[in-house]
Amino acid sequence: TGNVTLDPGFVNTASCSSAITFIDGNAGVLQYRGYPIEQLASQATFLETSYLLIYGQLPTADELADFEHKVSDRMLLDERMRELYRMFPRGAHPMQVLSAGIMALGAFNRDNLDPHDDAQVEEATLRLIGSMPTLAAYAYKSSVGEPFMYPQKKLSYVENYLRLSFGTPVAEYEIDPAVVKAFETLFILHADHEQNCSTATVRMVGSSDANIYASMSAGVNALSGPLHGGANQAVLEMLVKLREDGLDAKTFMNQVKDKKSGVKLMGFGHRVYKNYDPRARIIKSHVDELLRNSSKSNALLDLALELEDTALSDEYFIERKLYPNVDFYTGLIYEAMGFPANYFTALFALGRLPGWIAQWREEHADPKRKIGRPRQIYIGETERDYVPITER
Ligand code: CMC
């Protein structure tokens, strides 16, 4: 194997050069195209941020209006795609249904699958961003057995998404501007995060010249794991279980520190951040106002705050530089807004889609790109002779 070096989990190996997202993990800094996440989260919209990630510059007012218009034109799915959603069993995990939905979207868009044709890539970009709220909402609707809603042109991207998820033909969803603003912010915070597991997967699949829909669906699948985006569901389930079992923060923390228990404090730790995750900091600053009407969520929030305090003053967490990550507080907000826990990660996927697309496009624009093909260190048997089955 010559000069091959082993780096499990790619802890020290850069797989690409990128001009999209900058993270300084020691300082807790996150920037998209050079703009601090704090400024984007408080001042930009999600589609404006998506434009920035994908095209490299903040849009002018005309460019943004044009982008919003094109995206909104593509929110309606082919009517036959509804049949796909009817087929899944009640209770199917929305992430499974979402990844299947994105693959189906590709099958319904066979005229924009060529990764080398710029016009087709542009159409697929708009088609994916436009369809994602509908795909995610239908994944939810199919899991709870409610009828599907159609998007409405007069509504914004986030408004449409919330109505598609929570509206029903008998009870129109009432749009609350505070909730819309919260989701604009949450989606911006999730929009890109350089070479995390799902983004690296998107690039890996893209490197074989598979079509962009196949890459995005692969991203959804990578994101679904509890060590990655699935952590938002896992955090809420952890908090609920702790309350049900009546376990206090200190006892639980002792379980976490006992490596043999296999218990982790979900929503804590990060490969790159060795400081407070700036996304978690922003979310935490909004959590109080967003949970004000929900007594159940407030009890879980108290527990989360207690776990954070206990962890941040504990030698185990200090030594390892473990801080809350983006997933620690989001589940509490989603729960207070009525989302079931198994739908949380689809919200992450909706937010991350523009980042995946931007990274896929950057990969394809690189003239030096190569198929992703890691090496290995072989540790198996040396050559031996085949033994006929009768002699084994
Ligand atoms: N609870 C308890 N111990 C932990 C935790 C945790 N959440 N995270 C890391 N550690 C320990 C780990 O056991 C190891 O200890 P030791 O050095 O004694 O072996 C040390 O801290 C370093 O951790 P690591 O597992 O080597 O770090 P990694 O970079 O390979 O893994 C991680 C990063 C995010 C997978 C991990 O911290 C983790 O499993 N966290 C919980 C799941 C989670 O919240 N994931 C969301 C990540 S952020 C958003 C996203 O990507 O979706």
Which atom of ligand 1 approaches the CA of 223 most closely?
A: 52
Beta bridge partners of 32: 21, 35
Measured from the CB, is residue 322 less than 6 Å from ligand 1?
yes
* Positions of the chain with pLDDT under 50: none
With the C-alpha atoms ordered 367, 129, 73, 69, is the resulting torsion angle positive or negative? negative
Contact 371, 203 (CB under 8 A): no
Task: Indicate the length of the chain as a whole number.
Answer: 392
Mutate to test the pocket of ligand 1, among 321, 325, 328, 347 (most ligand atoms within 8 A of CB): 325
**Alpha carbon of 38 to ligand 1 centroid (Å):** 25
Query: How far, in Å, CA of 379 to CA of 371, rounded?
Result: 25
Query: How far, in Å, CA of 242 to CA of 244, rounded?
Result: 6
Contact 237, 341 (CB under 8 A): yes
Q: Which amino acid is at 60?
A: T
Determine the 3-state secondary structure of 32 from DSSP.
Answer: strand
Tokens, residue 119: 């016009």
Rounded to two decimals, what is the model's pTM? Answer: 0.97
**DSSP state for residue 324 in the 8-state scheme:** B
**Alpha carbon of 144 to ligand 1 centroid (Å):** 32
From the list 53, 363, 382, the residue with the least C-alpha distance to 193 is: 53
| pLDDT given for residue 240 in this prediction | 95
Contact 203, 15 (CB under 8 A): yes
First to last CA, the chain: 32
Mutate to test the pocket of ligand 1, among 268, 312, 319 (most ligand atoms within 8 A of CB): 268
**Alpha carbon of 133 to ligand 1 centroid (Å):** 30
- Whole-number Cα distances in Å, 98 to 85, 132, 136, 173: 10, 9, 6, 22
**Alpha carbon of 226 to ligand 1 centroid (Å):** 11
**Alpha carbon of 320 to ligand 1 centroid (Å):** 9
| pLDDT given for residue 290 in this prediction | 83
Measured from the CB, is residue 207 less than 6 Å from ligand 1?
no
From the list 70, 343, 361, 94, the residue with the least C-alpha distance to 215 is: 361
The backbone torsions φ and ψ at residue 347, rounded to the nearest 5 degrees and listed phi first, read: -65, -40
Measured from the CB, is residue 265 less than 6 Å from ligand 1?
yes
Query: How far, in Å, CA of 376 to CA of 4, rounded?
Result: 8
| pLDDT given for residue 63 in this prediction | 98
Which atom of ligand 1 approaches the CA of 259 most closely?
A: 13
Measured from the CB, is residue 196 less than 6 Å from ligand 1?
yes
Measured from the CB, is residue 8 less than 6 Å from ligand 1?
no
Nearest CA to ligand 1 atom 41: 266
**DSSP state for residue 150 in the 8-state scheme:** P
Which atom of ligand 1 approaches the CA of 325 most closely?
A: 48
Mutate to test the pocket of ligand 1, among 239, 261, 264, 327 (most ligand atoms within 8 A of CB): 264
Task: Convert the pLDDT of each residue in 326-367 to its tens digit.
Answer: 999 999 999 988 899 999 999 999 999 999 999 999 999 999
Nearest CA to ligand 1 atom 51: 228
Scanning the structure block, which residue is given the tokens 């209006």?
65
Query: How far, in Å, CA of 376 to CA of 22, rounded?
Result: 29
Instruction: Give the active site residues.
Output: 270, 327
